[in-house]
Amino acid sequence: MAPAAGRGAGRWERRLFAAGSGVLAAVAALAVAELCAALVRPEARPVTAVGGAIIDRTPIAVKDWAIRTFGTADKLVLQIGILTLLTLFAVAVGLIALRSLRAGAVGAALFGVFGAVTAAGRPGGSAPDAVPSLVGGVAAVAVVVLLVRTLRPGRRSATDAAEPTDTAEATEAPAAAGVLSSLDRRRFLRAASVAAAASAGSGLLGNRLLSSGDAEAEAARDSLTIPRPGDPAPPLPPGADLEIDGLAPFTTPNKDFYRVDTALRVPRLDAAEWRMRIFGRGVDRELELTYRDLLDRELVERDITLTCVSNQVGGPYVGNARWIGVPLAPLLREAGVRPPSEGGPADQLVARSVEGMTLGSPVDTVMDGRDAMLAVGMNGEPLPFRNGFPVRMVVPGLYGYVSACKWLSEIELTTFDDFDVYWVERDWAARGPIKTMSRIDTPRGFATIPAGTVPVAGVAWAQHTGIDGVEVRVDGGEWREARLAPAPSEDTWRQWVWDWEAEPGSHRLEVRATDSSGETQTEERVGTVPDGATGWHSVVVTVD
Ligand SMILES: Nc1nc2c(c(=O)[nH]1)N[C@H]1C(S)=C(S)[C@@H](COP(=O)(O)O)O[C@H]1N2
Ligand SMILES: [Mo]
């Protein structure tokens, strides 16, 4: 092999190894951080913390696009994105280290500092949250320096001479930059293997500890039983569920219930340690409540449909469950709270969650007699972790973002003037009453169906107002009354069905609902921001 070609190949091998060193350094950092996070708290993982910070800073339009495009996988996509960026950064750090070990070390350290500052600065974050990233940063520096040093035996220039690279092996290495000697290569691979093995070890151990923490939390939740509610839900009226193929069931099973939140990691709280506080303006007697305190009170059980303001026309972010909880209004009364309509000084109830989320509801709405509650049960079991265990708020008639705080930690009485909650800071409306909406579940859009009688069916909702009618039309023709299934109250959705004599061809089906106040859904299409989408849902189907 010609010497020039040899030198070129050597350079590339060095670069490849240096890039690999950077990536290994990043892997080591994440692995060590994983282990530390298991000792501090899971939310202090660098990727979780950075991801959370990105979510909080993402412009509303991008967030809306991400939810539309990726649905509930949006969080996975975000984490893959972060890891991709991290990999690119790590490759750069490795290559920089090949030129200057010191600069490479600084790059690796910056990574740790960035994670640390982000983690500690998260809502609900504190100084210990910085530890995993800092220790991870130290690991990254160590790995990149140790590995890249083995690649640089011949490059001891004036600037680098100060660095203690001299070992017996190093002095034996060829002085000229060129092909890595087999000795260098072996030394590098040995060091890299050690780093990789150590990373795998601490990463796996950390992961193990974290998941055993999860398993403990799960076991603790499994061992709970929610007492029989003193005021149980009335049985569903016969026929509330039309049981039509493709139609969302009246009661959404917990496993199918939609999930919308900003938590990259679902908090797994211990109900035995959970406490909440009710305080703020107009609160004469602050309340502090444990989970036990809540279970010992008179519990109510209600069917209530929950809807997300981010739900597009025809979208999936709506579900109906049978909630068990403590009525909220009497609790507020006990604390001395009066609604503004009775001269109380606070018009906004801010619910805060353990991860620092804030949601604001109108006090008048919460105290107007509707079944606003601190929910502990969902469809006969303790709340699932993802839906807010151990305690969340539910207020019929309000979109989730202004009412349904999960992983509740405190309730503060304040005013809309004085405090902007999380979503309001991000351009959503401060008040979010649910808009009347209807959805065609079957047939699905773009389905091909045989001609003949076809049940067109779906759901319609106008929580706390009620649905009075649903109409369907085909190809812009006359509106036809659908048959409405009964519902237990005005706080749930209603199923509907209309029998269509379908003739061959391509057809467009449209639906609109009229609520119990006499309002018919507007045809005008508006997007979800700032206070919920409007428009008629339609599907196009082919009849054979
Ligand atoms: N702590 C917390 N609570 C939250 C949210 C959140 O991001 N964090 N999102 C809210 C929104 S926007 C909705 S629509 C509902 C969704 O509740 P679910 O995930 O149980 O369906 O929770 C609400 N409560
Ligand atoms: Mo939402």
Higher pLDDT, 212 or 166: 212
Whether residue 475 is found in the same domain as residue 422: no
Report the percent of the chain where pLDDT is more than 90.
85
Q: Which of 146-160, 167-181, 247-261 has the lowest mean pLDDT?
A: 167-181
Q: Is 87's pLDDT higher than 90?
A: yes
Return d(Cα 455, Cα 465) in angstroms, integer: 27
List the alpha helices (DSSP H) in 335-466.
363-366, 422-425
Whether residue 367 is found in the same domain as residue 465: no
With a 6 Å cutoff on the Cβ, whether 308 touches ligand 1 is yes
Whether residue 458 is found in the same domain as residue 488: yes
What is the predicted pLDDT for the residue at 220? 97
Read off the pLDDT of each residue in 456-460 and give the average, rounded to a whole number. 98
Of 392, 426, 460, which one is at a domain's C-terminal end? 426
Instruction: Among 58, 72, 75, 261, name the best residue to mutate to test ligand 1's pocket (greatest count of ligand atoms within 8 A of Cβ).
Output: 261
Read off the pLDDT of each residue in 448-477 and give the average, rounded to a whole number. 98
Instruction: Specify the residue with its C-alpha closest to ligand 1, atom 1.
Output: 406
With a 6 Å cutoff on the Cβ, whether 407 touches ligand 1 is yes
| Average pLDDT of the chain, as a whole number | 92
With a 6 Å cutoff on the Cβ, whether 60 touches ligand 1 is no
What is the predicted pLDDT for the residue at 169? 38
Whether residue 389 is found in the same domain as residue 441: no
Grade residue 178 by pLDDT with cuts at 50, 70 and 90: low
Read off the pLDDT of each residue in 91-105 and give the average, rounded to a whole number. 96
In a domain, 158, yes or no: yes
Read off the pLDDT of each residue in 56-81 and give the average, rounded to a whole number. 85
Token pair, residue 89, equals: 């950064």
- C-alpha dist (Å) from residue 542 to 223, 245, 502, 504, 509: 51, 18, 10, 7, 11
Whether residue 192 is found in the same domain as residue 61: yes
In a domain, 333, yes or no: yes
Give the number of whichever ligand sits closest to the CA of residue 261: 1
With a 6 Å cutoff on the Cβ, whether 269 touches ligand 1 is no
User: How many domains, in total, are found in the chain?
Assistant: 3
Whether residue 377 is found in the same domain as residue 335: yes
- Helix (H) or strand (E) run with residue 448 in it: strand 448-449
Please choose, from the candidates 468, 452, 476, the residue with its C-alpha nearest in 3D space to the C-alpha of residue 521.
468
Give the number of whichever ligand sits closest to the CA of residue 403: 1
Q: Give residue 23 CA to ligand 1 midpoint distance, Å.
A: 36
pTM as predicted: 0.90
Q: Is 52's pLDDT higher than 90?
A: yes
Q: Is 174's pLDDT higher than 80?
A: no
Return d(Cα 28, Cα 20) in angstroms, integer: 12
Q: Give residue 260 CA to ligand 1 midpoint distance, Å.
A: 5
Grade residue 60 by pLDDT with cuts at 50, 70 and 90: confident
Give the number of whichever ligand sits closest to the CA of residue 267: 1
Whether residue 176 is found in the same domain as residue 156: yes
Instruction: Specify the residue with its C-alpha closest to ligand 1, atom 4.
Output: 405
Whether residue 407 is found in the same domain as residue 502: no
Q: Which of 57-61, 158-162, 391-395, 520-524 has the lowest mean pLDDT?
A: 158-162
Read off the pLDDT of each residue in 138-152 and give the average, rounded to a whole number. 94
Q: State which ligand 1 atom lies nearest to the alpha carbon of 262.
A: 7
Q: Which of 171-180, 191-200, 260-269 has the lowest mean pLDDT?
A: 171-180
3-state secondary structure of 354: coil
CATH code where residue 475 lies: 2.60.40.650
Whether residue 419 is found in the same domain as residue 360: yes
Whether residue 52 is found in the same domain as residue 157: yes
Q: Is 501's pLDDT higher than 80?
A: yes
Whether residue 465 is found in the same domain as residue 390: no
Q: Is 10's pLDDT higher than 90?
A: no
With a 6 Å cutoff on the Cβ, whether 371 touches ligand 1 is no
User: Could you tell me the maximum CA-CA distance found in the chain, to the nearest angstrom?
Assistant: 93
Give the number of whichever ligand sits closest to the CA of residue 259: 1
Interval 287-332: pLDDT, tens: 999 999 999 999 999 999 999 999 999 999 999 999 999 999 999 9
Q: What is the span of the domain harbouring residue 97?
A: 2-214
Q: Is 176's pLDDT higher than 80?
A: no
Grade residue 59 by pLDDT with cuts at 50, 70 and 90: confident
